[in-house]
Chain A
Amino acid sequence: MGFTVYIILVPIVMFLFLSLGSKWLKPRTAGIIGTAGMAVSTLLSYFTAYRYFFVEGQQNGVYAKITAFTAEWLRFGDKLHIDMGVLLDPISVMMLVVITTVSLMVHLYSLGYMKGEVGFQRYFGLLSLFSFSMLGLVVATNIFQMYIFWELVGASSYLLIGFYYTKPTAVAASKKAFIVTRFADLGFLIGILILSFNTGTFDFGLLTADNASLAVTTMSGGSFLGLSAATWAMSLLFMGAAGKSAMFPLHIWLPDAMEGPTPVSALIHAATMVVAGVFLVARMFPLYVFAAPDVLTLITYVGAFTALFAAVIAITQTDIKRVLAFSTISQIAYMMVALGVSGMGGHAGEGYTASMFHLFTHAFFKALLFLGAGAVIHAVHSNEMENMGGLRKYMPVTHITFLIACLAISGIPPFSGFFSKDEILSAAFQHDKFIFAVLWVVAGLTAFYMFRLYYRIFWGAERRYDKHPHEAPAVMYVPLIVLAALTCVCGMLPFSKFVSSDGAPFSAGINWGIASASVLVGIAGIAVATWFYKKASDRPARAAAKWAGFWDAASHKFYMDEVWQFVTKKIIFRCVSRPIAWFDRHVIDGTMNALGTMTEKASETIEPVQSGKVQTYALVFVFSVLIITVGVFLL
């Protein structure tokens, strides 16, 4: 399956071509070339998926890890070396399909959405760069290759968030996203170093083989602050994952990242980049289960808290993209919880399958939601809910597709979200009733805030629009329809037959008791949203007034930005950085400056001696000779 390497090479070639040719390519040509390149990658990915799942992937009834391509890139010693390659296993193949599909839809959609923008060619070049990095990340054969592409993803995300680089808020948002994820990546890097130092390898295949026995034997000892090396390494890896996947408290960058163009939000901040953290945990899953089970518990609780936290904030936001951003945080936390509650192998590994399944379905319906929101923004030229309402008459296609996505994320059958969410809930139920309860509440909240969004955009009081809002052009609504179709059908896939924690297919039936509970809470959420928001009324305002304190706190995102500001500015900058800066400026620089000043002062003092007047020199010379002569004679 050596051809899989072209899935990754095509986008990077596109990036180089579009970026270098941006001066002489017409915007339209550049867009079409970029989209065509992505289409090639997409077709290759589908072909790979077909070959892997139905022809070559299974060995003895188990989906194996196949290294389709590998090349040594850097060798450190006899054992330790970094390769670049393509690793195919169920999750990487699944991710290839998700990334290329969503990316292709976003490419198509951008042809319409970004029309007439300055830097259209650059935009398509950057989309290709991002696709390249993300594809390279998921097929990485070793953790170091993954880290390289992980950083590339961060860099291309920075460039895309800051695409409108003349807008100060966009620049600030891109910086924030980069710095926060970079801070988390520091943990990731240290984790990689601890891991490779102890096990002597970067390779995923070797690390995860035989229930991660390599890590278990080499890393269970060596405690630091009472935790084993394995626990440290895996916690630090999770720190990197939490940064990229916007887990509390590193989630602060994601809502701000909505400053980027909306298709970028759909691609990066909904479907692909933010699930990189989930993917990382899934990739290292055997190590978590066997070498560091405590970290899995940590992941569960961080995930559950984040899911609830973000869902509550999402209820109060008025910028439609921010609602979707918090919804994304909440849903990704769902996936994290599913991994956290999972065990290894067969039905114990249901959480793992559920997590990947939810990643798969979420990518499509969240991309659909973002693209739909983009179409709305395109029509009314505003992100704020106050400027919307009653749009269902003007934008029928957007309305219907958006509704499908809302139903899917709320977990209403037969849409895809129902199946994956049910699987997560049943995995959580088997593991821990408390976690299940939290997720169940979050499911209700999700339905509520999504339908609040839906009603406020498409129903409610009709606004007087300056310009008559109109449906987006075909190039924009075709991706919506395709994604909506995927949202309708992809839940029916027998996902556990393809993706499981140990590669062996199993059948995960629907747990009807839990399914009906989750559907009930979803419907309850929708009903409450309908009561509040379907017609314009003062009910939302009265409810908000009743809970004023809580509402205020939630709409300010529970002051997490301020907390971070406080921690960084007041504590880190003032108590750590400032004394260090003082020491550097006054003690280290001071010593050097004192030496310089002394030399300067000394030369200033003796400078008049060297007057430059030859006659003075001659006078001194003559008198000196006289004195010496007299001295010699006298002595």
Chain B
Amino acid sequence: MIPMEHYLIVSSIMFFVGVYGFITRKNLLAVLISIELILNSVEINFSVFNRYLYPEHMEGMFFSLFGIAISAAETAVAIAIIINVYRLANNIDVRHIDKLKH
């Protein structure tokens, strides 16, 4: 059986790649993908902890499914926002999305 730490290493890498991408990417789509990475890494953690620590329970699994559904909805909303931003500003570079500030 694959030790639990391996899964956790993968999910940690995914999480920090996501955080790094969220902070550094200038394209809104890339930022969105980074957020998905963060979410998915968390879902891996849920599943792994559930499977390894409390195999008789199913809460972690369900929480993962729940998270996937939420992230799907969230992606739909985010894509809609990005399309509207594009219509408004003609690009989706985060450096230019500061209309509400000025």
A619 near B94 with CB under 8 A, answer no
Taking a contact as CB atoms under 8 Å apart, the answer to whether A615 and B94 are in contact is yes
Q: Which residues of B have CB within 8 Å of A615?
A: 22-24, 31, 94
B87: interface (CB < 8 Å): no
B19→A612 contact, CB < 8 A:
no
A608 to chain B, nearest CB (A): 11
Which of the residues B23, B24, B31, B98 comes within 8 Å of A612, measured between beta carbons? B98
Contact-residue bracket for chain A:
under 10
Residues of A close to B95: CB separation below 8 A: 613
Chain B 36-53 near chain A by CB (<8 Å), digits 1 or 0: 000000000000000000
Chain A 604-618 per-residue mask, 1 if CB under 8 angstroms from chain B, else 0 = 000000111111001
- The distance from the CB of A247 to the nearest CB of chain B, in whole angstroms, is 68
Chain B 48-73 interface 0/1 with A at a Cβ cutoff of 8 Å (1 = within): 00000000000000000000000000
**Do A619 and B23 touch (CB < 8 A)?**
yes
B77 to A: closest C-beta gap in Å: 16
Interface residues of A in 595-631 (CB under 8 A from B): 610-615, 618-619, 622
Query: In terms of DSSP, what is the predominant structure of the interface of chain A?
Result: helix
A614 to B, closest residue via Cβ: B94
Contact A622 B98 (CB under 8 A): no
Q: Which residue of A lies closest to B24 (CB)?
A: A615
Complex alpha-carbon distance, A615 and B98, angstroms:
12
Q: How far is the CA of A613 from the CA of B31 in the complex (A)?
A: 13
A626 → B minimal CB distance (Å): 11
Find out whether the CB atom of B23 lies under 8 angstroms from the CB atom of A622.
Answer: yes
Residues of B5-31 at the interface with A, using a CB-CB cut-off of 8 Å, are 19, 22-24, 31
Contact of B19 (CB < 8 Å), options: A610, A611, A613, A622: A622
With the chains together, A618 CA to B100 CA distance in Å? 18
Chain B residues closer than 8 Å to A619, beta-carbon distance: 23
Q: Which of chain B's residues have a CB closer than 8 A to the CB of A610?
A: 101
- Chain A residues with CB below 8 A from B31, complex form: 615
Tell me the smallest distance from the CB of A307 to a CB of chain B, in Å: 76
Distance in angstroms between the alpha carbons of A619 and B23 in the assembled complex: 6
Given A611-B101, A612-B100, A618 contacting B22 (CB threshold 8 A): yes
Offer 11 A-B interface pairs, CB within 8 angstroms, sorted by A: A610-B101, A612-B98, A612-B100, A613-B94, A613-B98, A614-B94, A615-B23, A615-B31, A618-B19, A618-B22, A618-B23
- List 10 A-B pairs, minimum CB-CB distance, nearest first: A612-B101, A612-B98, A619-B23, A615-B23, A618-B23, A618-B22, A622-B19, A615-B94, A612-B100, A613-B94
- Give me 7 other A-B pairs in contact (C-beta within 8 A), A613-B94, A619-B23 excluded: A610-B101, A611-B98, A611-B101, A612-B101, A615-B31, A615-B94, A622-B23
